[in-house]
Chains A and B, each alone.
Chain A
Amino acid sequence: EADIYQTPRYLVIGTGKKITLECSQTMGHDKMYWYQQDPGMELHLIHYSYGVNSTEKGDLSSESTVSRIRTEHFPLTLESARPSHTSQYLCASMAANYGYTFGSGTRLTVV
């Protein structure tokens, strides 16, 4: 019943490759977020967007970039992946006075 979708679920990629993690939601939410999380550990906000053409950096500095060209789509890009980028990346969106709805996450491993 998830209304927010992340692809791929798992990705193993070599150092130096460019990757894009996809996040799409069908709920029409303006507000979307990317978190980085080592499995079962704290969540760190790396990017957020409050609408089309609006993006901001989060609390944790990240070498990734994001774009928001359409309301439903909020992809995250790493231009040159490194082993330090190995982590789980969670996408979320927010309705007006409710909390977040999260996607299932992308588990990224850079070798």
Chain B
Amino acid sequence: GNSVTQMEGPVTLSEEAFLTINCTYTATGYPSLFWYVQYPGEGLQLLLKATKADDKGSNKGFEATYRKETTSFHLEKGSVQVSDSAVYFCALKQTTNDYKLSFGAGTTVTVRA
């Protein structure tokens, strides 16, 4: 079956530091991959996505590249801000006949001023 493994948290960083959150997946075929962000007290928001190998998703300074050869979709941001403090979820969706996302366990990121 499908599964997503995320780097365990919590992660604590200083402002302007570089952030990487590792995500690897197990799936058949060519799934679509997503990163969601959840700010305190809120639901999840789509941060970025990639639908095929070598695609790079980007949004709000965050980037992730779909690596088929390493089955990975690591999230990166070059210079974090306090406002980036949140929980980040990696997720995948099989392309055919499966309409449920498989989520990782989430990684809590805290950015200190």
Residues of A within 8 A of B (CB): 6, 31, 33, 40-43, 45, 48, 50, 90, 92, 94, 97-105, 107
For this complex, 5 residue pairs linking A to B, each with C-beta atoms less than 8 Å apart, are: A6-B43, A33-B100, A40-B38, A43-B103, A102-B44
- Verify A41–B43 contact, CB threshold 8 A: no
Q: Which residues of B contact A50 (CB under 8 A)?
A: 99
Residues of A within 8 A of B106 (CB): 40-43
Residue of A whose beta carbon sits closest to that of B47: A99
Q: Which range contains the number of B residues in contact with the other chain?
A: 20 to 34
Question: Contact between A99 and B43 (Cβ–Cβ < 8 Å)?
Answer: no
Known: A99-B36, A105-B42, A107-B41; 11 extra A-B contacts, CB below 8 A, are: A40-B106, A40-B108, A41-B106, A45-B100, A92-B44, A97-B95, A99-B34, A100-B36, A100-B46, A102-B36, A104-B43
**Please, how many angstroms separate the alpha-carbon atoms of A107 and B43 in the complex?**
11
Residue B49 CB within 8 A of the other chain: yes
Q: Would you call B93 and A99 a contact (CB within 8 A)?
A: yes
Query: Quick check: A43 and B89 within 8 Å, CB to CB?
Result: yes
Measured CB to CB, the closest approach of chain B to A98, in angstroms, equals 7
Within 58-104 of B, Cβ neighbours of A (below 8 Å) are at 87, 89, 91, 93, 95, 99-101, 103
Q: How far is the CA of A39 from the CA of B16 in the complex (A)?
A: 27
Q: Which of B43, B49, B108 is the one whose CB lies under 8 Å from A102?
A: B43
Q: Which of B21-45 contact A (CB under 8 A)?
A: 32, 34, 36, 38, 40-45
